Homo-oligomer: A and B are copies of this chain.
Amino acid sequence: MTTPCDQCPLRKRDAFVPFSDSELDFMKKFKVGELKIDAGTPILMEGSNAPQLYTALRGMGIRYKTLMSGERQVINLVFPGDFLGLQARVMGQMCHSVEATTAMTLCVFDRSGLWALFKDSPERAFDVTWLSAIEEHFLGESLLTLGQRSAIEGVAWALVKIAQRGRAIGIFDNGRMPFPFRQQDLADSLGLSLVHTNKTLRKLRDRQLATWTDKELHISDLDALAAIAQLDVADQSTRPLL
């Protein structure tokens, strides 16, 4: 029933670092099961202290923090290949929540296995750190966006980033990809109001750069978007997969 690591659909994508045979063996032991969840289900909750480790296999989600007053900040969108729960495992408790936006299936890893991973498979341990560094890098870029980019620059930046990520996992095709989020989600990830996000998206639509309707994102002119975002389209590096 569950997908064996041998046949993991993600491993084929050239966006991911190839596995060695021994690594594959290790992952097969490390993976203890699979979890299928419906859209809207919370996966990890801020404050909880005994979470599992997951890798998103199919579907999309959202990672966010909330302020005491209720404001929500989206940390990032969760795409297939993302590794979830490391922070909680390492730091004692979750500092953010993760929620499924679409139906998702997650690889479940043995919680106690993380230490074994560091002990027995330095290559994989390094990959965990690598993933963490990639995440840190992304958050740094997000910080740059929230702090220094204007609304239109920020939205353009987000759309380019999403398209790049979509391409990496093979769902961005002919300028189109499924994008099942709400405008509110994008707004909360950029620190903008819903209304202003909507109006900014309209500007991009009017300029015929990008259209986002019916949970599908259509990028007409990625280069122009990247130019608005003051972003290099270059960096399309590979990442490890767990």
Contact = CB atoms under 8 A, between A and B. Distances in A.
A75 B144 CA distance: 8
A72 B125 CA distance: 33
B136 A139 contact: yes
Contacts of A21: none
A137 B87 contact: yes
B75 A137 contact: no
A142 to B, nearest CB: 6
A92 B141 CA distance: 16
Given A129-B90, A143-B75, A191 B148 contact: yes
Contacts of A139: 136, 139-140, 143
Nearest to A232: B68
A112 interface: no
A69 interface: yes
Interface in A55-90: 65, 67-69, 71-73, 75, 86-87, 90
A224 interface: no
A236 B57 CA distance: 35
A135 interface: yes
A148 B65 CA distance: 10
Contact of A90 (B67, B73, B133, B141): B133
A91 B128 CA distance: 12
A125 B118 contact: yes
A230 B69 contact: yes
A95 interface: yes
A228 to B, nearest CB: 11
Nearest to A137: B95
A162 to B, nearest CB: 17
Given A122-B119, A133-B86, A146-B147, A141 B91 contact: no
A176 interface: no
Contacts of A132: 129, 132-133, 136
Contacts of A233: none
A32 interface: no
